[in-house]
Amino acid sequence: MNKTRVTVIILFIISGLIVAIGIVGGGPTVKIPADTKPGAEYSQPNEAEITAQTKEMLLSVLKEKYPAGTSARRDAHPLAHGCVRASFQVLPDLPANLAKGVFYKERSYPVWMRLSNGSADPKKDADGDVRGMALKLMGVPGPKLLPDEIYTQDFLLINYPVMPAGSPDEYLALFDAAIHKRPMSYFFGGMPWNWKLGAFQKVLELRGQKVADLLDIDYFSTTPYRLGEQAVKYKLSPCQKKGEYQIPADPTDRFLRDNLQDRLSKESVCMDFYVQLQKDPIAMPVEDAAVRWDEKVSVPIKVARIEIPQQEFNSEKQNQFCEQLSYTPWHSLKEHQPLGGINRVRKAVYSAIAAHRFEQNGVTPAEPFGSERF
C-alpha cells in the first residue's frame, strides 16, 4: 500500500471516530437519578469493594516500582517542579453563601504550593502531560476530616477541567487496563456502540498538554466539594496571563523548574482562586467527574487571591521537605468536604499511599506550619 493510501485510511478512521463521539455522546456517563437534589451524594452499592481494590492495585504498583530498600515516591504526580511559598488571601465582603470555612472572613493563610507533572513514570517536561497544583493552607482553625493534620486545608487541582473516568468503577477499570498494558481495551472493548470515545478523547487532551510556564495556566479541581449546603468546583487562574515563556527549541528535561525559578527570582506572581456553584444537579452532577460544569451557566466567582512572592525555592533541603509533604483533598474542614465517588475513593487511597512511602523511606510525617525556611 502506498503512503497516500495509508494516510487517507488513517484520516478516514480518525474522522469516523470524531463523528462517532458526536453520535454516541462520548460515554461513559454515570446515571443520575431524576429526583437527585443539589449537593446530594449517592454511592454505588459496591463502592467499598471498588475502593479497596483501587487502593490495593495502587499499592502493589508502587511496591513493584519502588522495591523495599529504595526510596518510594508518590504514585501519581511523583515529579515535583518545586514547593513554593505563597499566601492565600480571602477577599473581603464575600456574600453569606460563600463566606464559609476558610472563606469565612477576609484573612490571609500561608501556603505551601507543590507543582508537579502527573505521569506516574516521570516524562520530560517538554512532553505532553497533566500538571498538578496542590495548595496547603496552614493556620486553619476548626476540626478536620482526617486526624493526621490539625491546622491545614488542602486544595488539589490539575490543568484540565474533567477526569476521563468520572466514577470509581470507571476509574478502576481504566487503571486496571493501564497497568496491564492494554489501555486501549478500556476505550475500545466490546461492540463499537459501547466504546468509550469521550473518555479516549479526554485522555488524549489531558495527557497531551504542553506547558511553558506553570504559573500562566488555569487549574481545576475537576471534582466537587461542599461549601456550606451547596456543591462547588474550584478553579485557579493567573491574575493576568503573560505568555512570556516559550518551550525552548532545545529543552532540558526539567526546563519547567528553570522557568519557574527564573520568573520567581525576578517578580512575585498573582493567581485568583474561584468557586463555581452547582446550579443544576443533573447537568452539573456531583457523582460524575467526567462532566464539565458549564462556565456560561455558572460563572466561576473569585473568592481569594494567591500571592507567590519573589523567592528562591530550588535548594536540596526545600526539595526534600517538598517530597515529605502529603496532600489530600481530605485534609479539610467539614465545610469543604470532598463530594462524589472519585473523591470518596481518594480518602482511603491518598492516606494509604502516603503512609506507605513515609514508612518505606523511614520518614516520620510532620505537619508543616508555614514558617519553614531553608
| Residues contributing to the site for ligand HEM (CB under 6 A) | 54, 58, 74-77, 114, 116, 132, 134, 156-158, 163, 171, 221-223, 289, 326-327, 342, 345-346, 349-350, 353-354, 357
Cβ atoms of 269 and 308 closer than 8 Å: yes
Q: Which is nearer to ligand HEM, 263 or 346 (CB)?
A: 346
Burial class (CB in 10 A: 0-12, 13-18, 19+), 352: middle
What minimum distance in Å lies between the beta carbon of 55 and ligand HEM?
A: 8
User: Under DSSP, is residue 256 helix (H, G, I), strand (E, B) or coil?
Assistant: helix
Q: Which is nearer to ligand HEM, 116 or 278 (CB)?
A: 116
Cβ atoms of 80 and 131 closer than 8 Å: no
Q: Which is nearer to ligand HEM, 126 or 130 (CB)?
A: 130
Cis previous bond, 28, omega within 30: yes
Cβ atoms of 323 and 292 closer than 8 Å: no
Q: Which of 120, 136, 29, 39 shows the shortest CA–CA distance to 87?
A: 136
What minimum distance in Å lies between the beta carbon of 184 and ligand HEM?
A: 21
Identify how many contiguous H helices and E strands the chain contains and give both numbers: 8, 9
C-alpha–C-alpha distance, residues 161 and 233, integer Å: 10
Q: Which is nearer to ligand HEM, 116 or 259 (CB)?
A: 116
What minimum distance in Å lies between the beta carbon of 269 and ligand HEM?
A: 18
What minimum distance in Å lies between the beta carbon of 239 and ligand HEM?
A: 21
Q: Phi/psi of residue 188, each to 5°?
A: -120, 30
Q: Which is nearer to ligand HEM, 24 or 146 (CB)?
A: 146
Q: Which is nearer to ligand HEM, 100 or 114 (CB)?
A: 114
What minimum distance in Å lies between the beta carbon of 127 and ligand HEM?
A: 18
Q: Which is nearer to ligand HEM, 132 or 238 (CB)?
A: 132
What minimum distance in Å lies between the beta carbon of 182 and ligand HEM?
A: 19
Identify the H or E element spanning 306: strand 301-308
C-alpha–C-alpha distance, residues 239 and 297, integer Å: 22
Q: Which is nearer to ligand HEM, 259 or 326 (CB)?
A: 326
What minimum distance in Å lies between the beta carbon of 118 and ligand HEM?
A: 7
Q: Which is nearer to ligand HEM, 94 or 339 (CB)?
A: 339
Q: Which residue has the cell 514547593?
A: 83
What minimum distance in Å lies between the beta carbon of 29 and ligand HEM?
A: 17
Cβ atoms of 322 and 114 closer than 8 Å: yes
What minimum distance in Å lies between the beta carbon of 104 and ligand HEM?
A: 24
Q: What is the CA radius of gyration of the chain?
A: 21
C-alpha–C-alpha distance, residues 125 and 188, integer Å: 29
In Å, how far are 107, 112, 219, 311 from 261, measured between CA atoms?
28, 16, 20, 8
**Cβ count near 190 (within 10 Å):** 9
